Chains A and B, each alone.
Chain A
Amino acid sequence: MAIWCADLALDRWRHSENCQRGEGPDSAPLALITETAHGPRIDAVNPAARAAGAAKAMMLADARTLCPSIEVRPSDPAGDLAFLERLALWAMRWGPWSAMDAPDGVLVDVTAVAHLFGGERRLLADVEARCNARGLTIRAAIAPTAGAAWALAHFAASGAILGPEEDLQTRLADLPVAALRLDNDVLLVLKRLGLKRLGDLASIEEGRDGAGSGRDAIQRRFRNRKSPAANPLVRMDQLLGRVPEPLLPVVPVTAPMVQRRLLEPIRHRQLLDTVVSDLAQDMARTLEAKGEGARRLQLGLWRVDGEVLVRELEMAAATRDPDHMVRLFADRLDDIDAGFGIEMLRLRASWSQPLGLDQSDLEAAAEQHGTSLAACMDRLTTRLGTQAVQRPVPRASHIPERAQGWQPPLEPEPAEQHQLAFHTRPLKLLERPERISVLYAAPEGYPRRFSWRGEVCEVARVEGPERIAPEWWRERGTARLRDYYRVEDEAGRRYWIYRNGLPTDGRGGMPDWYLQGLFA
């Protein structure tokens, strides 16, 4: 079943003005506009303005010349979309699942449902009556496929029903090609080709009067159009149910939420801690009932003067331990300014994951056991930030500083190609390579002596070079290759140094030397 809200934006405006159709503010000409690069453009007009000559997609300046008294309000596409989402959830009263059909429609699956409402005709009557009661002007239709229902809702008389035994093709042959949900430029192409009705398109596909099928010709014309909205053949097949058309159902998600309204506004930290711990225990019970654990928690504090303070926590693993939550929030509540007092607190788990029930700790020595890894990571990230607690993971690159990435500590490691074992890598890598001054026998060879941070190292043993070419697909063309050497001086200090480029590579002057890593 497709429901088309023909006047969604205006119906919402009327609802906000609290007036009936054609009464009060709606009796005067009115247009909803958007600002565009070429000036304000009309999105929707009410019947009075339409009678005066204004139309959708007209520039406001043109409409003013036709109807100088026209009123303007800004349109609200984001609000319309949010309303449509709520409408799709509400429409699940007529079927097991529904999908949004932006910008102004809803699709509901009513397979084997109609008898519950006393037949399809009475189902449509119920839809119409209930939507009209909400102040929505709608047209609904029922058909075996979503595309056919959409076409009937938009281009057939209201309340059209297409039963499964009827022939889709003959019943829909008189509808215009716009019923295929195509883009405007495709519609223009079809108009120029002389294809105005669905029947025209179907007859070309099948071939008329013994002539061969024309499907190949249309196929060739639209061969590069993969998106269904740009290819009339795909849309036609979807309409007739020859290819499946996946729809994305709307699923309501309710985040577990607990709140406390306080008789007396609180201004002291001690009382706040008590209330937060009460909230955490409520939240733990709520989560336990759902068999879930919280990954992200939002604590909202409503102050008497209307200000709302929000503190957010993100956990490394799902948890519903109230003590743990309280402890993590305790660090975040230090900078709260209570003002004249806090009158309401609300705790919401905006991200939760399934978490099974587990055996409670029966032994009294729980403190001796210490904390779990997830709790420890939570405490560290709450105080130090998520960027401070990380795990090194390999990345596919030959450039040493690029070959290591960082990720949150408890995430699973990404799959990696096995590293070759014959490269020895340093234990520690400096944040950025530091330049060293060197003394060498030959510019292509390794240095005899170098100084770094004011210390002179006489190179006693050396291995190299290990040549690492720049990643030409990522770096600029002037990036130079690196020749890495492992060196050890007479005192046993082991370093990883490299020469940035070759003297003869023609990408700058004499190459510089850098020290990048420390070996154990």
Chain B
Amino acid sequence: MDTSTLPKAAELATRAARNPRWQPDAALPLHSEIFAPATQGAGAGAALAFAQQALRAGETDSLEERSVLWVQDARAIKLGGRPYRAGLPEALRHRLIHVAAKTPEDALFAMEEGLRCRDLAVVVGEVAGNPRALDFTASRRLTLTAEKHGIPLLLVRLDAEADLSSARMRWRMTSAPSSPPRWNVAAPGRPAWRGELFRARAHPPGEWILRDEPERLAAERVPETTAPDHGDLVRGPGARSLAAL
């Protein structure tokens, strides 16, 4: 194990240094999962926004443009469709290589092969549901491969339960109302997502509204809900609907 990556004692002394809030310009961990409903483009959109953020940070010094691998299994294609070149971010259009795998096993194989390839910049995966093949062992295998070769993996899980996984950052992503564009207020604007970071190794959980601005990813924190959820406790009668009486 590399001891230099471990935090120093001085850093652990303050809580903020030990556990900084997530920032959009924070380094992208090598394996993240994004849970999104299949009827929205939020998962893929946010994954591409994260990928672009990582590319902007990492590719300033190198001249070559490496490709982006997008792996989908058959069910994900059926539910959410294939990527459409004219709608992709401008910088990724000519760099996309798409893999249509029939089964989740094939999709996992394709993602692992992609992570081993030194000529790829990012691997984006889309797997629908909770297939048996994508268990903790498989996700651990992906994490280790990604960390060995240093290529980030963004796995979009469509309509999936958050089961066991070794991903370093796990988001729950849904669409959010977009900011109105400048010239036509009635039209949909640049995409925005409501992201809930519910598990991360380096950051405390939280909720953000992510906005895909040109040249950067903006994020604003959603204030925590004032009324804590007490789970099974009975709410006050005022909160009950009339139909329940």
Chain A interface (Cβ < 8 Å from any Cβ of B) = 368-373, 375-377, 379-380, 383-384, 387-394, 400, 403-404, 406, 409, 413, 419, 423-431, 452-453, 455, 460-463, 486-488, 490-494, 517-520
Contacts and interface: CB of A to CB of B under 8 A. Distances in A.
A384 B39 CA distance: 27
A518 B98 contact: no
B86 A403 contact: yes
Interface string B192-208: 11100000000000000
B48 A486 contact: no
Contacts of A455: 39
A429 B175 CA distance: 17
Contacts of B87: 424-429, 517, 519-520
A385 to B, nearest CB: 9
Interface stretch (B7-15, B182-190, B224-232): B182-190
B199 to A, nearest CB: 24
Given A383-B106, A392-B96, A460 B86 contact: no
A379 B113 contact: yes
A486 B41 CA distance: 13
Contact of B39 (A425, A452, A460): A452
B86 A419 contact: yes
A492 to B, nearest CB: 4
A371 B117 contact: yes
A376 B113 contact: yes
Contacts of A372: 117-119
Contacts of A383: 106, 109
Given A376-B119, A428-B41, A519-B188, A391 B86 contact: no
Contacts of A463: 184, 186-188
- Pairs A-B, 3 closest by C-beta atoms: A520-B45, A518-B41, A463-B187
A453 B191 contact: no
A270 to B, nearest CB: 23
B120 interface: yes
* Chain B interface bracket (under 10, 10 to 19, 20 to 34, 35 or more): 35 or more
Given A380-B99, A493-B175, A517-B84, 18 more contacts: A380-B113, A384-B99, A384-B102, A388-B106, A391-B97, A423-B86, A426-B87, A428-B41, A428-B44, A428-B82, A452-B39, A462-B186, A487-B188, A488-B188, A492-B192, A518-B40, A518-B81, A519-B188
B104 interface: no
A389 B193 CA distance: 30
A384 B102 CA distance: 8
Contact of B118 (A369, A387, A461): A369
Contacts of B77: 431
Contacts of B83: 392, 427-429
Contacts of B155: none
Contacts, number: 175
Interface in B59-78: 67, 77-78
Interface of B: 39-42, 44-46, 48-49, 67, 77-78, 80-88, 94, 96-102, 106, 109-110, 113-114, 116-120, 148-149, 151, 174-178, 180, 184, 186-188, 191-194, 212
A519 B192 CA distance: 11
Nearest to A378: B113
A376 B78 CA distance: 26
A460 B177 contact: yes
A12 B111 CA distance: 58
24 contacts: A368-B149, A369-B118, A370-B118, A370-B151, A376-B113, A376-B117, A376-B119, A380-B110, A384-B110, A388-B101, A388-B106, A392-B84, A419-B86, A428-B82, A428-B87, A429-B84, A431-B77, A462-B187, A486-B188, A491-B177, A493-B40, A494-B175, A518-B39, A518-B40
B80 A518 contact: yes
Nearest to B106: A384
Contacts of B85: 392-394, 404
Nearest to A373: B119
Given A462-B186, A488-B178, A518-B41, A371 B116 contact: yes
B84 A427 contact: yes
Contact of B117 (A370, A400, A517): A370
A455 to B, nearest CB: 6
B81 A492 contact: no
Nearest to B175: A492
Contacts of B67: 373, 409
A391 B68 CA distance: 10
A383 B112 CA distance: 13
A423 B186 CA distance: 16
A138 to B, nearest CB: 57
A366 B74 CA distance: 34
Nearest to B69: A376
Contacts of A427: 41, 44-45, 48, 83-84, 87-88
Nearest to B186: A461
Contacts of B101: 384, 388
Contacts of A488: 177-178, 188
B215 to A, nearest CB: 16
Contacts of B113: 371, 376, 379-380
B97 A520 contact: no
B26 to A, nearest CB: 21
A494 B178 contact: yes
A491 B193 CA distance: 10
A502 B122 CA distance: 44
A489 B100 CA distance: 30
Given A431-B77, A490-B177, A494-B175, A404 B191 contact: no
A158 B112 CA distance: 72
A428 B81 contact: yes
Contacts of B41: 426-428, 494, 518-520
A392 B110 CA distance: 18
Contacts of A518: 39-41, 80-81
A428 B45 CA distance: 9
Residue from B45, B84, B110, B180 with most neighbouring chain A CB atoms (10 Å) = B84
Contacts of A375: 117
A494 B97 contact: no
A423 B87 CA distance: 9
A261 B123 CA distance: 44
A380 B100 CA distance: 10
